[in-house]
């Protein structure tokens, strides 16, 4: 231990200086890359908001499109998107959560459950346009739901299901196994354990996963365009329940596509305002998810 003279222990040698320089350099490079992430976001949001400014007001949200969609608002598309998101998640969240509980808590490691796992993983990787074609074949034609909100919602449900299963499993797996073993040791069944310990302590993660799928369901165009969303549907201004489930509806993603590319002479700020609304929806949803997580984590029990 006495190889170094005591006086040199805390002095700066060239090697130390080089090390510190490298450390500083590395930190700046990493920081710059992380900061680079923020730039596109700020540019996108800034550009959109500036271009959308003339149309951004409450009227725009509540009004229906006018004069062949070249003026007016986005009410039918907004409410249509809410319909689709709500129904699709009402279907996929319960199924996904229950399936994940089975896979994580009950399933033994046998071929049957390996097949299920493989199916979940692969389904999550299927491109949305393929989901669209599947929805068209399965719900519109085979199940005879026709081009309708039901078909479109079910297609979105299939699309979000594997991700909900994956995020729920992750949340369940974050509950330590020792808790489960302690319950089994005192004669609790698996279900009693899940009910008393596992679900109450993973619910925040489960809900976060589900909520994050809201923005995905709201943003996708292809799956709904093939199965139940149309260019235009005439609806009363501000009507909260304008659609029947066996009808087609409008949706924000599709509406944005239409007015940007298919309709000539649209007031220039309208597509941008539509995009801002879509973006705001995503931000609101993510913010909800994050604050829910923060709130529930503040009450974390171990």
Q: Catalog residues that contact other proteins under the rule CB under 8 A.
A: 108-109, 178-189, 192, 196-197, 200-201, 301-302
* Smallest gap from residue 94 Cβ to other proteins (A): 25
156/90 Cα distance (integer angstroms): 11
Burial of 127 (0-12, 13-18, 19+ CB in 10 A): exposed
CA atoms within 13 A on the CB side of 261: 7
**Cα(125)–Cα(262) distance, rounded to whole angstroms?**
30
146: left (phi over 0), alpha (psi -120 to 50) or beta: left
Question: In terms of CB distance, is 183 or 217 closer to other proteins?
Answer: 183
The 3-state secondary structure of 185-223, one letter per residue: HCCCCHHHHHHHHHHHHHHHHHHHHHHHHHHHHHHCCHH
Of 51 and 180, the one with the shorter C-beta distance to other proteins is 180
Q: How far is the CB of 270 from other proteins (least distance, A)?
A: 52
Q: How far is the CB of 205 from other proteins (least distance, A)?
A: 14
Residue number with CB closer to other proteins (47 or 184): 184
User: Nearest approach, Cβ of 300 to other proteins (angstroms)?
Assistant: 9
How near is the Cβ of 131 to other proteins at its closest, in Å?
A: 34
Nearer to other proteins, 7 or 178 (CB): 178
Q: Least distance in Å: CB of 188 to other proteins? A: 4
- From residue 144, alpha-carbon distances to 135, 141, 189, 227 in Å are 11, 5, 43, 11
We find the least distance from the C-beta atom of residue 44 to other proteins, in angstroms, to be: 42
Please count the other Cβ atoms lying within 10 Å of the Cβ belonging to residue 2: 5
Residue 229 is classified by DSSP as: B
Q: For residues 9 and 108, which CB has a smaller minimum distance to other proteins in the complex?
A: 108
For residue 160, report the phi and psi dihedrals to the nearest 5 degrees.
-85, -20
CA-to-CA distance for 149 and 158, rounded, in angstroms?
Answer: 14
Q: Which is nearer to other proteins, 179 or 231 (CB)?
A: 179
The token pair that represents 151 in the structure block:
């078909």
Give CA angle at 43 (37, 44), nearest 5°.
Answer: 95
Minimum distance from residue 122 beta carbon to other proteins (Å): 24
Give 188 or 245: the residue with its C-beta nearer to other proteins: 188
Q: What is the DSSP string of 263-280?
A: STT--THHHHHHHHHHHH
CB nearer other proteins, residue 57 or residue 189: 189
**Residues 159, 223 contacting (CB under 8 angstroms):** yes
């Amino acid at each position: 231990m006495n190889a170094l003279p005591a006086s040199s222990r805390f002095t700066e040698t060239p090697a130390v200086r080089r090390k510190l320089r490298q450390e500083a350099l590395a930190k700046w490079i990493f920081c710059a890359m992380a900061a680079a992430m923020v730039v596109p976001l700020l540019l996108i949001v800034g550009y959109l908001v500036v271009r959308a400014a003339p149309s951004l007001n409450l009227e725009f949200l509540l009004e229906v499109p006018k004069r062949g969609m070249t003026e007016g608002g986005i009410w039918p598309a907004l409410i249509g998107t809410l319909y689709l998101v709500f129904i699709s998640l009402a279907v996929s969240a319960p199924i996904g959560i229950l399936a994940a509980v089975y896979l994580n808590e009950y399933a033994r490691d046998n071929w049957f459950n390996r097949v299920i796992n493989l199916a979940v993983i692969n389904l999550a990787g299927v491109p949305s346009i393929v989901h669209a074609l599947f929805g068209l074949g399965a719900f519109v034609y085979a199940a005879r739901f026709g081009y309708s909100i039901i078909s479109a919602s079910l297609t979105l449900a299939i699309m979000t299901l594997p991700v909900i299963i994956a995020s729920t499993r992750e949340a369940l797996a974050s509950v330590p196994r020792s808790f489960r073993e302690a319950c089994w040791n005192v004669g609790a069944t698996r279900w009693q354990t899940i009910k008393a310990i596992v679900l109450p302590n993973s619910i925040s993660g489960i809900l976060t996963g589900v909520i994050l799928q809201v923005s995905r369901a709201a943003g996708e165009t292809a799956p709904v365009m093939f199965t139940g969303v149309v260019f235009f549907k005439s609806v009363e201004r501000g009507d909260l329940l304008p659609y029947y489930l066996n009808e087609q509806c409008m949706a924000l993603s599709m509406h944005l596509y239409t007015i940007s590319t298919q309709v000539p002479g649209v007031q220039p700020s309208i597509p941008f305002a539509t995009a801002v609304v879509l973006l705001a929806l995503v931000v609101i949803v993510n913010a909800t998810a994050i604050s829910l997580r923060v709130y529930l984590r503040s009450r974390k029990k171990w």
